[in-house]
Structures are given as C-alpha cells and as structure tokens.
Amino acid sequence: MTPTQERLQDIKKNGYQIDFANVFNHAFENYKKIALYAGLVLFIFSVLFVIFIGVSLVSVMGVTAMTRELSPEKLKVENLSESNFLVFGSIALIVSCILSPFQAAFLKMAHCGDRDEEFHISDLFGYYKLPYLKEIIISTFLISAIGFAQATLLSYVHFELLGKVITYFISYITLLVSPLIIFGDLKAIEAMKYSILIIFKQPFVILGLIIVAFIGSLVGFIGCCIGVFFTLPFLYSMNYAIYNAIVGIDAQEIE
C-alpha cells in the first residue's frame, strides 16, 4: 500500500483537520510563483485554440452558415432543437475530455512552483500518456456526462436553475479527482470515490476556500479582461494547496 493509500484509509476512518488560513496562504504564495508563466500559457493556447476552432468551422460550414448557426439567438437553450442540443453537448463533452490532461498539467506546474523546480513547456503535455491519459479522460467523461445528462433532463421539465446548481455541486465534490490521479496514482473511479469522501468530511471549509479562489480569479475581469488569464491560475494553486494539505504528496508517486 502506497503512502497516499494509507493516508486515504486514515481519512476514511478518522477524518482530517484543515486550516483555512494556512491553505489560503499556501495557495496564494504558490500562485505568485506560477501566475506569469501559467497566465501566458493560458492566453497563448486559448488564442491558438480559438483560431483552430474558427478555421475548422469555416472550412466545414463556410462563413455564412457558421455565422447563422452560431448566432447568440440560435445558441440559446430554448431555441436549440433536440438534435442540435445533443450535438453541442457531445462536442463539449469531447472537447472537455481532450483538454483535461492539459488542464491537469497546471496542477503539476503548481507542484513544481511549490518545490521551486523547473517546469518545461513539454510538461504541459506530460499527461497525454498512459496511465494518466486513460484515467483522466475516463473521470472527465463520467463527471461531464453525468452533469450533462441531469442538466438536460431537468431542462426538459423546466428546472434549468436546479440543473445548474447540481452541475456546480458535481464539480465541487469531484474537485480532487485530478490531483488524486496524477499525484496519488489512483484509478478514475477510485479517485472519484475518494474525492467525494474527502469533500464531505469538511464541506464548508473547502467550499469557502473554493469560493475565495473563484472570486480571486475573477479579479482579472476588472479593467482589461485579458487579466483573467493571469488570475485564473489561482484556482489551480488553490486546488493543489487543498490536496496537499489534506492528502499530501509523496515524491515517489509522481514523475
């Protein structure tokens, strides 16, 4: 049994203590180390991704058809046909799965920043390899599919707000899935199970930390919206700091 598994078993039996101020300070100090690098990476790759999607859509649909089909009015949920709703949902699910290993790399960046270790551009794609790739994609697919399915079902009975609340709740209780996979070397289902268990042991403290991190990440919208790329990494730092405070990271379990 690995140190992580032993720690998780102890958490399951005895719970854990987490200090709001210590975790916040750890997350903020870590954020200061990675903010510029992570912000530049997010900005550059977001621009490249938007260009790629735009060029692909123009190539497939043409400018006129793309402008018509992707107009804000047509993209409203109430105006989408059942088939288009499923198509857009499926595309969003696929994109989430494809990008999830890339997003997980920002947790590794936070870890390197915490240890004052060098992080290379190639490390951004380090989780597009087995066994991490399979487990990250499986967990992302399951979480996203469950969220999409319940939101779709509730939208048909006109409970859209409840669907959004449940979607956020699912994201919250699966907050630690990615770090449990990449730092704890857990399988997807096991990581989901332990993430839920950990969150429910101290739900209000962790929720408070996430809300503070979310508000902090939105500061980038003030003045110039481009700043959000440089404040968004605070969420990754907070995720890392929460996991590190609760479970801890054994150097022998990560690459």
**Is the confidence at residue 154, as pLDDT, over 70?**
yes
Give the tens place of pLDDT for each residue, 11-28: 999 999 999 999 999 999
Confirm whether 42 is domain-assigned. Answer: yes
What is the separation of C-alpha 111 from the centre of its chain, rounded to a whole number of angstroms?
16
Confirm whether 7 is domain-assigned. Answer: no
Confirm whether 108 is domain-assigned. Answer: yes
Per-residue confidence band for 120, with pLDDT thresholds at 50, 70 and 90: confident
User: Please, what's the largest Cα pairwise distance for the chain?
Assistant: 61
Cα end-to-end distance, the chain, whole Å: 18
Q: Count how many domains the chain has.
A: 1
Confirm whether 2 is domain-assigned. Answer: no
Report the alpha-carbon distance of residue 85 to residue 214 in Å, rounded: 28
More confident residue, 45 or 169: 169
Amino acid letter, 56: S
Confirm whether 6 is domain-assigned. Answer: no
Confirm whether 106 is domain-assigned. Answer: yes
Expressed as residue numbers, the domain containing 61 is 18-247
What's this model's pTM, rounded to 2 decimal places?
0.87
Would you say 195 and 177 are in contact if contact means Cβ atoms under 8 Å apart? yes
